[in-house]
Amino acid sequence: MPAESKAAVRLAIGHVLFIDIVGYSKLLISDQSELLGVLNDAVREAGEFRSAVAEGRLVRLPTGDGMALVFRDSPEQPVRCALEISRALKNYPKLQIRMGIHSGPVNEVADVNERANIAGAGINIAQRVMDCGDSCHILLSKHVAEDLQHYLEWQPYLHDVGQCEVKHGEMISIVNFYTKDLGNPNPPRLKRARTEVRRRRRNAFLLAGSGLAALLIAGSFLLPRAFARKIDKSIAVLPFESLSDDKENTYFADGIQDDVLTNLSKISDLKVISRTSVMPYRGKGSNVREIGKALGVATLLEGSVRRVGNRVRVAVQLINTENDEHLWAEDYDRELTDVFAIQTDLARKIASELQAKLSPSEKAQFERKPTENGEAYLAFVQAHNLSCAFEDFDKLKQGEQLYARAIELDPNFALAMARYSQLESWFLHTFDRTPQRREKARTLAARALQLQPDLPEAHLALGYSHYYGDNNYDAALEEFEIAQRGLPNESDAYLAIGAIQRRQGKWAESTANIEKASNLNPKDPWSLQNLAQNYQVLRNFDDANKTIDRGLNMNPNGVGLWETKSKLAIAEKGDFSVAEKAFAAAKSIPMTNEEKLRIAGARADVFLLERKYQEGLREAESLPDDLFHEFQQHLSGKYFLIGFARKALQDEAGARAAFLKAKDLLEGQLKGSPDAEDMHIQLAKVLAYLGEKDAALTEARRATELRPESKDAFGGPEIAAGVAEVHAVLGENDRAIEILDGLLSRPSAVTVEGLKVNPIWDSLRNDPDFQALLSKYSGKA
């Protein structure tokens, strides 16, 4: 007997999706080949499949009339994959499939051809579950359904069927999974359990089919506890309580918490929830089980910090969210200079408690001190705390000053330089689009990498510099992927990768990465808004709305979430009622100046879309110019709205005055930001309304050159829609309709309902070609 056959069976938990084609054996051989090809294509295009393949976390097994897919990380993976496949096959009624899902022990083996294969109870039960189904069914084992039942996202789609008699007379419990438009809502025509049939031992049946019964039964008791459930290696680090007499030391406690979280997030064998999602629990005596359920983790780390002079006392405890059991606790009483040793020791002990494997590079990351200068560290943690307030300009400016102070105190503080660079790139993207800001972001990132070439945060910073500063998507993606490998739990890295991929037209990969970011940061509205944007431009409004509703369930006061939900309703149905609800909700929501401007601008926009021009004009004119001092790039938008409203009200003189004001503002801003394509297209619109045709077309061409659809599949269509508007205003209907036809035929935010309600297109309204365009895409876009 070959030596390898004597090796111990190595078991792990696999999350199995079993698929077969219904009625396959009755098909002609030519039809079999055709339908298998269609199925294979649908599977390969599924975002969950592609993501798992890219990470090397998927085993694929052909079965003749279908396949088995074994995912490694979560029972949600086969469910999401099944939904993606079902959605893709809705256009192929000739191809009828059924699917079964189960999570259980599997082991890799070699088949007779010495190729990698997989066996075990997980595979066997998944096939039995599938065998209970009919055409279009997605059936789950009871075990998987119980795991999914903990998540609000899945609860509405789980429908208990009862027991099914399968091979050898064994009884298994089945749950039917279906949504409004995917799956099969009809109960499967399975063999129901007979009351007189006693329940046989499940394990004996499961293992008989594999020929490894004894080994697998033994193995099931030997599996480490961390493999037994999906979330055993998942953790959220809650905000540490500051016990210092000086309450301003709260930022120091946040810094300790954040550094512990960062260290843990570098362990690829753990799932670590991002900072944004844990900060809402500061100072709240929330139920441990509720927090665990909301964040999708098995353990929580709680802690407190007391700092007196140069002495630091840190107390922490690790808690099981399922039963509130305290798994481990530790106290540290050290000098301030030993704070990094505390963080390193904490990360190492938590990893050990959760049975997480540490690679040599991960261990090396722990051992490295970011700085030897205590004052520089204190400035750094305060700066990082402030710079997380992404929409608060004043706090971001304070953070900028403190990062500069940290680097002044320690010119070799690479991590501070990397975070400082990220902040500068955010300023560049949001507030100050100047060459000076772009160069500063790039220089800081380059210096951080020069000091510490393997620092993942520095690669992330350089990626943002390429992305926001240069629109160099290939270079940005390369840096983001390096950062992601070093920060496997950093939601921002996955979000950045997804943002680049959609600009490259890789929609499935983009959606998978942004969904990953959302899973790691479930309470972050920004990742959910980005995910909804993907679905919107793909015109998948069901998933777009579900995504935003997920966010609003967790954060009913999310201004950006309400804004996105309003836009979705208008784009999909021409429905303004959601916007009205959003504006009503906003009245009771505390907002930053930037959010106030966005809401006011959105309200003015909606009034104009509803053709309530007097109300829209009043809203726009009520905004004082000095409110825009931090957001000068938005001031021209105010005067554009005023000009549009006055023109609609037939106040030609007032409209011209407003458009001239917008023109002056935009031309001034473009002197400092000559490559800002959105300013060029806005100026083109203004010039078109002023009747300056040649200048308008020149600006439209410049905007298109800066962001063509061929190089940006996400932002390019937005510029193209602006170009179409310019042609419509100039009376060039044919060209405007030609551009809109192209946008409706591919992913973009342009929809038939949006074209119907927007007065921008009123000049095309009576054109037969425009009417034909709306009819052509009605129900499709």
**What is the reported pLDDT for 116?**
52
| Dist CA 53 CA 70 (whole Å) | 11
C-alpha angle 382/387/391, rounded to 5°? 145
**What is the reported pLDDT for 327?**
83
Residue with the two structure tokens 């753990």: 270
Q: Which long-range contacts (CB under 8 A, 24 or more apart) does 362-365 make?
A: 362/266, 362/267, 362/268, 365/263, 365/266, 365/486
Rounded to two decimals, what is the model's pTM?
0.69
Would you state the structure tokens that stand for residue 767, as one six-digit string?
């054109």
**What is the reported pLDDT for 630?**
67
Would you state the structure tokens that stand for residue 35, as one six-digit string?
């339908």
- Contact between 140 and 98 under an 8 Å Cβ cutoff? The reply is no
| Dist CA 494 CA 488 (whole Å) | 9
| Dist CA 207 CA 65 (whole Å) | 23
Nearest Cα to Cα of residue 448 among 432, 464, 433, 437: 464
| Dist CA 291 CA 416 (whole Å) | 31
Question: In which residue ranges of the chain is pLDDT below 50?
Answer: 1-10, 112-114, 191-231
770, burial (CB in 10 Å: exposed 0-12, middle 13-18, buried 19+)? buried
Give the Cβ contact number of residue 694 at 10 Å.
8
CATH of domain 234-358: 3.40.50.10610
| Dist CA 34 CA 21 (whole Å) | 12
List the chain domain ranges: 8-227, 234-358, 675-781
Which residue stretches of 610-689 are H helix?
A: 613-621, 632-648, 652-672, 677-689
Cα 555 → chain centroid: 16
Element of type H or E holding 106: strand 97-110
- Contact between 38 and 95 under an 8 Å Cβ cutoff? The reply is yes
8, burial (CB in 10 Å: exposed 0-12, middle 13-18, buried 19+)? exposed
Amino acid identity, residue 116? A
> What is the phi-psi region of residue 99: left when phi exceeds 0, alpha when psi lies from -120 to 50, beta otherwise?
beta
Q: Directed axis angle between helix 577-586 and helix 559-573, to 10°?
A: 170
62-112, pLDDT tens digit by residue? 887 889 999 988 889 999 999 999 999 988 888 999 999 998 877 766 554
Cβ neighbours for 27, distance < 8 A, ≥ 6 positions apart: 21, 35
**Does domain 8-227 correspond to CATH entry 1.20.1630.10?**
no
- Any bridge partners for residue 171, and if so which? 165
| Dist CA 270 CA 353 (whole Å) | 12
Residue with the two structure tokens 């809502």: 185
| Dist CA 587 CA 577 (whole Å) | 16
Cα 680 → chain centroid: 30
CATH of domain 675-781: 1.25.40
Cβ neighbours for 458, distance < 8 A, ≥ 6 positions apart: 414, 415, 417, 418, 421, 445, 448, 449, 452
- Any bridge partners for residue 367, and if so which? none
**What is the reported pLDDT for 513?**
95
**What is the reported pLDDT for 495?**
96
- Contact between 238 and 316 under an 8 Å Cβ cutoff? The reply is no
